[in-house]
Structure 1
Amino acid sequence: MVIITLQISANLEQIEELYTNHPDYVFLLKLKCLNCGECSDRWHDVIESKTFPSKTGKSDSHYLEKCKLCGRENRLSIIEGTNEKYTNEDQGNFKSIINFDCRGIEPIEFSPTDGWIAKIEDSGNIFEGIDLTEKEWVEYDEKINQSVGIYDFQYKFIKIK
C-alpha cells in the first residue's frame, strides 16, 4: 500500500477558504501502473461517493482498472476523512487536501475541474461550482464591493507512506 497526498497551492484574493464539494467532487487524474510503468494518456474520474467492487474479492475502491499493457488489476481509493480546506493562511505554500490509497498505480497528473467552493473573507458569501480548469478564477462580491479570486493554482503529489 502506498499513500499519496495531493497538495495544492494558490494565491487567494479576499478568500478565507477554498475546498471541494466533497464527497462528490470528481478528481480527474492521469495514472501510472507501478508494475509495468505504463502511463495513462487519458483522464480518469475518482469520486469518493462512487465505489467499485474488486474482482479478486479485495475491498471496494474508488477507482479500479486492469492495466492494458500488463493485465494487472490496479486500484485507488480516497482515504476517508482526509479532505482538507485550503485557507488564506496557507496561501503561497503547498497544503495536503486529500490522500489516496494506491494499490499498483499512482497519480501523475491532476486536473482541477469545476466543483470548488470558496468562502469569502469579509462577507461570508459562498461561491459554489467554481471551475479551476484554467488554474484561476475571478468574481465580484457585491456585499464587499470587491473582486475576489484564485490565482496561480498549482498542485503536486507527495508519497507519505
Structure 2
Amino acid sequence: MVKIGLQIRATLENIDEIKTNHPNYSFFFKLKCSNCGEQSEKWHDLTENEKQHENSRNPNGFNFFMKCKLCSRENSIDIIEGTNDAYTADDSGKFKVVVCLDCRGVEPVDFSPKAGWLVKAADNGQAFEDVDLSEDDWVEYDNKNKVSIGIYEFESNFIKLKK
C-alpha cells in the first residue's frame, strides 16, 4: 500500500478558495501498474462516494478497481476519507496536497482537473459551481464585487506520503 498525495498549484486572482465538489467530484487520472509498469493511455475516474464491488475481494469495495491488461494483477485505489482540502489565496503559487490516495498495485501518473470545481471569489464575492479547469486557466467576472477573477497556470503533481 502506497499513500500518494495529489498536489495542485495555481495563481489565484481575487479568489479566496477553490475546491472539489467533495465527495461527488470525479478525479480523472492516468495510471501505471506498479508491478509491470504498464501505463494507461485513457483517463480513469475515481469518486469518493462511489464504490466498485465487482471482481473485488474487499466486501466494502474500492473507489477504483482494475485488472492490469498486461500482467493481470488486481489493483485498486481509494480516496482516503477526510483528506480533501481547499486551495486558498494563501496557497497561491505554491504546491499543496488537496487529496490523498491509498494505492495498491497502481499509481497515478497524470491528473486532469476537468469540471466540478467550486470557486469562491474574494471579499465575500460570488460563488461559482461546476468550474472546468481542464484548460489550465479560468477567467470570470464577479458581479457582486465588480472585479475580474481568475485561476491561472494550473499545475498538478503527485508525492508519496509517509505512512
Band of TM-score, shorter chain: over 0.9
- Deviation at residue 56 of structure 1 after TM alignment: 5.1
The runs of at least 4 consecutive aligned structure 1 residues that moved more than 3 Å come to none
Distance, in Å, in 1 between the alignment partners of 2:71 and 2:124 is 53
Task: Tell me the equivalent position of 1:79.
Answer: 80
Checking the alignment, whether the CA contact within 8 Å between 1:14 and 1:121 is kept in structure 2 is: yes
Q: Aligned residues: percent identity?
A: 52
Q: How does 1:7-156 map to 2 (within 5 A)?
A: 7-53=7-53, 55=55, 57-58=57-58, 59-156=60-157
Q: Using the alignment, how far apart are the partners of 2:56 and 2:147 within structure 1?
A: 55
Is the CA contact 2:125–2:145 (under 8 Å) kept in the aligned structure 1? no
Aligned equivalents of 1:3, 1:46: Cα separation in 2:
15
Q: For structure 1, which segment, 136-145 or 105-114, has the greater mean C-alpha deviation from structure 2 after superposition?
A: 136-145
What's the C-alpha RMSD, in Å, of the aligned pairs? 1.1
Checking the alignment, whether the CA contact within 8 Å between 1:54 and 1:61 is kept in structure 2 is no
Residue deviations 1:70-129 (CA, integer Å, cap 9, x gap): 001100010000000000000111000000000000000000100001111113321111
Q: Distance in 2 between matches of 1:131 and 1:57?
A: 35
Q: Given the two structures, how large is their TM-score scaled by the length of structure 1?
A: 0.97
Give the unaligned 5+ runs of structure 2.
none
**Could you say which residue in structure 2 is the equivalent of 1:2?**
2
Distance 1:102 1:145, change over 3 A: same
Counterpart Cα distance in 1 of 2:35 and 2:108: 14
Q: Could you say what secondary structure the match of 1:133 adopts?
A: coil
Q: What secondary structure is seen at the aligned counterpart in 2 of 1:89?
A: helix
TM-score after normalising by structure 2: 0.95
Quick one: distance in 2 between partners of 1:120 and 1:63?
33
C-alpha separation in 2, matches of 1:102 and 1:16: 31
In the alignment, the residues of structure 2 paired with residue 56 and residue 10 of structure 1 have an alpha-carbon distance, to the nearest angstrom, of 37
SS of alignment partner, residue 131 of structure 2: strand
- 1:53/1:60 contact within 8 Å kept: yes
Question: 2: distance between equivalents of 1:55 and 1:146?
Answer: 51
CA contact (8 A) 1:31 1:40 kept: yes
Q: Distance in 1 between matches of 2:125 and 2:78?
A: 33
